[in-house]
Amino acid sequence: MTAPPADVLLRADGLHRRYRLPRPAPWSPAPVVTALRGVDLDLAAGERVGLIGMSGSGKSTLLRLLLALEAPDAGQVWFAGEQIRPARTAALRWYRRAVQYIPQDPAASLDPRMTVADLVAEPLARLRVPGDHATAVAEALEQVGLAGGFADRRPGELSGGQAQRVAIARAVATRPAVLIADEPLSGLDLPLRDQVVQDLTSLSVRRGTTILLVSHDLSVVAALCERTAVLSDGTLVEDRPTAELLADPQHPRTRELLDAVPALPDPA
């Protein structure tokens, strides 16, 4: 395999992934499901890219491969010209710092016994990030609009939007080059969604952070992402500038997703 060009920061190169399901009966063969079929996706530094598709399209599997949580059956993940393979945490500590994840359900990912400051500091300690962790925590909370008294609060004292911002602060505290956000706005009302989109856009612009936003909601993708890729049945069926894709969807799956959105804002 040839390394990607220098302007590509994170690359999915021909990724295939299959899973064996439990046997329906002791004497039956184990069914095999193909989750990804030769997916290629390039992310440049500072780029904001949407990844959309119906449930079961392969989005979660692609995330697991990009996060080096499991290995593809074929193909390769590249970061800054280096091949990435799943390994023990110590061997990939540098990669975990560089590529951070924002979960879909922040409430489930936040230990209710810890303060906000401790939650944001946790990845800094676990990944052995050098420097002043207290300063890094304060900076991360300020970037997501939770400066001041929020550091001493616990998850049970936070609203849904505030919990989502803590999850973002945890991810950005390591100063990653790439943020992978998995449905980060699901469950939030419209004003909170708009504010989180602004937070993510501001982080990308100020720090040059690459963002891969995984969503089934084209209205959210339109507000944040410059480019959008569409997964259908494990295959990447479109990958174009967001404004072009929304104005003239080429694939039936894209048109189906677009029809499911009652009203779309003008793409930023």
Distance separating alpha carbons of residues 214 and 98, to the nearest angstrom: 18
Instruction: Yes or no: say if 166 and 109 are a contact pair by the CB < 8 Å rule.
Output: no
Judge whether residue 16 has pLDDT over 50: yes
Instruction: Yes or no: say if 72 and 65 are a contact pair by the CB < 8 Å rule.
Output: yes
For the chain, list the domains and their CATH numbers: 8-259 (3.40.50.300)
Q: Answer with the residue of higher pLDDT: 87 or 157.
A: 157
Q: What are the structure tokens assigned to 91, written together?
A: 């061997």
Q: Which amino acid is at 11?
A: R
CA triplet 119, 213, 221: central angle to 5 degrees? 130
Mean per-residue pLDDT, 96-125: 89
Burial of 242 per CB tally in 10 Å (0-12, 13-18, 19+): buried
Q: What integer pLDDT is reported at residue 48 of this predicted model?
A: 95
Please give the span between the terminal C-alpha atoms of the chain, in angstroms, as a whole number: 36
Q: Considering only CA atoms, which of 115, 125, 117, 104 is closest in space to residue 215?
A: 104
Distance separating alpha carbons of residues 82 and 104, to the nearest angstrom: 28
E runs forming strands in 23-128: 32-44, 48-52, 74-79, 82-84, 99-102
The answer to which of 68-77, 115-124, 182-191 has the lowest mean pLDDT is 182-191
The answer to which of 20-24, 151-155, 257-261 has the lowest mean pLDDT is 257-261
Q: What integer pLDDT is reported at residue 22 of this predicted model?
A: 83
Query: DSSP string spanning 161-183?
Result: HHHHHHHHHHHHTT--SEEEEES
Judge whether residue 25 has pLDDT over 80: no
Instruction: Yes or no: say if 217 and 246 are a contact pair by the CB < 8 Å rule.
Output: no
Q: Which amino acid is at 121?
A: A
Q: Answer with the residue of higher pLDDT: 52 or 199.
A: 52
Q: What integer pLDDT is reported at residue 26 of this predicted model?
A: 80
Distance separating alpha carbons of residues 180 and 102, to the nearest angstrom: 6
**Local confidence band at 264 (pLDDT 50, 70, 90 cut-offs):** very low
pLDDT above 70: percentage of residues in the chain: 94
Average pLDDT, the chain: 88
Q: What integer pLDDT is reported at residue 180 of this predicted model?
A: 95
Summarised one tens digit per residue, pLDDT across range 45-68 is 999 999 998 888 999 999 999 999
Q: What integer pLDDT is reported at residue 30 of this predicted model?
A: 79
Q: Which amino acid is at 213?
A: L
Q: How far is CA 16 from the centre of its chain?
A: 19
Q: What integer pLDDT is reported at residue 267 of this predicted model?
A: 52
**Local confidence band at 187 (pLDDT 50, 70, 90 cut-offs):** low
Instruction: Yes or no: say if 176 and 207 are a contact pair by the CB < 8 Å rule.
Output: no
Summarised one tens digit per residue, pLDDT across range 216-236 is 777 888 889 999 999 999 999
Q: What integer pLDDT is reported at residue 203 of this predicted model?
A: 83
